[in-house]
Amino acid sequence: MTSHNTEDSLEAPQRTASTESDTRVSLQHDYALDPVPTDRRRGLYSLVAVWVGWAISVSSFLVGGAVGAGTTFGTGLTAILVGNAILALIGGAIGYIGYRTGLTTYLASRIIFGVRGSAVPSIVLGILAMGFIGVLMDAFGTAMVGLVPDVPWTVWVILFAVAVTITAVFGFKGLAVLSVVAAPLMLVFALYSLFRIGGDEGGFSAAVEAVPAAPIGFDVAVTAVIATWITGAALASDIGRYARRPSHIALGAVCGYVLGAGFFETVAMISSSAVGNPNFVIVMTQLGLLVPATVILALALWTTTDNNLYSSSLAFTNASKVLGRTVNKKIWVFVGIGIALITAFGGFAGDFLSFLSIIGTVTPPFAGILLAHFFLLGGLRSPAGSLLAAAPVVRWSALVAWVITSVTMYYWAPPLKPLVGLALCAVLYVIAETVAGRTQSRGRVGTTA
């Protein structure tokens, strides 16, 4: 691939000097401004572990509980499987873009939105990611005070911030080290808790036979499942760029969404139906499983939050470079965690639903543009280096399609809203690019004549 005059490429000679120097530079920069070289790709297990750790979050418990409270067992299980299968398809496709190009989501957006234009999605999505981190910190502190009331909320939040920063500052390697341990541990504890729920009076039969007091439609349940992780699926290139083979992307996406998030949503659904409490962590404590509940809560929030912090640091690394000032990704990790702490201590978690609604409105259209550009308009046919070199200053068709679709989705709530937003933006972008291409062709013909 073509080398570029970026922070990483300036230090390329050092990377070839020795293995020790190579490792140090890789850890420090994490290829935030360059394609990941093929010899720096990771193995299948670490890729799958990161994907599973990212997808398992507290939101999985909440969504699974809501689905269990509003649907029959069969309908709820089908909704969880369908929703996460769709997420696996979207995340797998965008992860494949990362595999083919080696680029972060935000560096790939330079190709689509233009060199200067890519600053817009980088800043918008980066701010939303950091705000979401602050909300998760608040949720962690509140939950831990409920489990261990002797330790103040402030201490829990600060400890959590330190832990997340330690792993996120080392980039993908930090995520892999944490997830390789955390992902299987969370699954083991969840399985044990599930068996304990099944062994209680009523057990699984109570979940299967439960009739919801306030039913919700199948499309509402599927939409809730998709909306929970559509943002992560849209940023899957950040993980996929470290894959060695396309099959690793497919396995990572399926394990992350279907076997990871989907499994925890199913456990929470069973908990809601069988025990009558949609909060899986509280149910675990009621069963005398305080330690597993604490471990699952901490790890689920940690693995999700460090991935979000990682992605936001990549976003702002791209934005700062585009705006003429190269700032190391490590610095943006600390800036991001600082803003997240301000969000947590500022009490903004009270507006969580509105905040989540905004994320679910602007992110699916962004994913639609990525998929349209690389799969429908032939963006994967050329090497990443040549695509970056040929990127325009601003590609207005992408920005306008994104804004129009986001505004439309904000005021319109159709069934399967995230998918509608993704598809609508993809169609608008393809039409705009097709018209622009034909207009340019006519102009060239007219000039020649």
Q: What's the rounded mean pLDDT across residues 153-166?
A: 88
Q: Report whether pLDDT(250) > 70.
A: yes
Q: Report whether pLDDT(443) > 60.
A: no
**Residue 397's pLDDT band (boundaries 50, 70, 90)?**
very high
DSSP, residue by residue, 187-251: HHHHHHHHHHHHHSSSHHHHHHH---SS---HHHHHHHHHHHHHHHHHTTHHHHTT-SSHHHHHH
**Residue 2's pLDDT band (boundaries 50, 70, 90)?**
very low
pLDDT of residue 401: 96
The amino acid that residue 20 corresponds to is E
The CB density around residue 138, as the number of other CB atoms within 10 Å, is: 23
Q: What's the rounded mean pLDDT across residues 343-367?
A: 76
Q: Report whether pLDDT(61) > 60.
A: yes
Instruction: Considering only residues 402 and 269, tell me which one the structure prediction assigns the higher pLDDT.
Output: 402
Q: What's the rounded mean pLDDT across residues 411-433?
A: 92
pLDDT of residue 355: 66
DSSP state of 39: G
Lowest pLDDT segment from 110-124, 129-143, 347-361:
347-361
The residue count of the chain comes to 449
Q: Report whether pLDDT(388) > 90.
A: no
Q: Report whether pLDDT(28) > 70.
A: no
CB 364 within 8 Å of CB 234: yes
pLDDT of residue 21: 39
pLDDT of residue 448: 39
Q: What's the rounded mean pLDDT across residues 57-65?
A: 78
Q: What's the rounded mean pLDDT across residues 360-387?
A: 91
- Rounded CA gap, 133 and 341, in Å? 8
pLDDT of residue 84: 95
pLDDT of residue 202: 59
**Residue 431's pLDDT band (boundaries 50, 70, 90)?**
very high
Q: What's the rounded mean pLDDT across residues 188-205?
A: 73
pLDDT of residue 442: 45
Structure token digits, residue 306: 């460090």
pLDDT of residue 288: 73
Mean of all residue pLDDT scores within the chain: 80
Q: What's the rounded mean pLDDT across residues 134-152?
A: 81
The amino acid that residue 37 corresponds to is P
Of 360, 343, 361, give the one whose Cα is nearest residue 136: 343
Of 130, 110, 132, give the one whose Cα is nearest residue 121: 110
Q: What's the rounded mean pLDDT across residues 11-20?
A: 36
Q: Report whether pLDDT(12) > 70.
A: no
Q: Report whether pLDDT(171) > 80.
A: no
pLDDT tens sequence across 221-244: 898 888 878 888 888 998 999 999
- Rounded CA gap, 32 and 300, in Å? 25
Q: Report whether pLDDT(330) > 90.
A: no
Helical axes 329-345 vs 290-322, angle rounded to 10°: 120
The CB density around residue 198, as the number of other CB atoms within 10 Å, is: 15
Q: Report whether pLDDT(204) > 80.
A: no
pLDDT of residue 343: 79
pLDDT of residue 242: 92
Which pTM was predicted? 0.81
CB 46 within 8 Å of CB 180: yes
pLDDT of residue 128: 79
pLDDT of residue 342: 84
Find all residues with CB under 8 Å of 398, minimum gap 6, and list them.
112, 113, 114, 117, 369, 373, 429
Find all residues with CB under 8 Å of 152, minimum gap 6, and list them.
145
- Rounded CA gap, 46 and 172, in Å? 10
**Residue 303's pLDDT band (boundaries 50, 70, 90)?**
confident
- Rounded CA gap, 438 and 41, in Å? 39
Percent of the chain with pLDDT over 70: 85
- Rounded CA gap, 50 and 52, in Å? 6
The amino acid that residue 399 corresponds to is L
Q: Report whether pLDDT(416) > 70.
A: yes
**Residue 399's pLDDT band (boundaries 50, 70, 90)?**
very high
Of 152, 168, 106, 160, give the one whose Cα is nearest residue 135: 160
The amino acid that residue 407 corresponds to is V
CB 269 within 8 Å of CB 80: yes
pLDDT of residue 62: 76
Q: What's the rounded mean pLDDT across residues 419-434?
A: 95
- Rounded CA gap, 95 and 239, in Å? 7
Lowest pLDDT segment from 18-32, 316-330, 339-353:
18-32
pLDDT of residue 7: 34
State the burial class of residue 442 (Cβ atoms within 10 Å of its Cβ: 0-12, 13-18, 19+).
exposed
Of 82, 117, 36, give the one whose Cα is nearest residue 403: 117
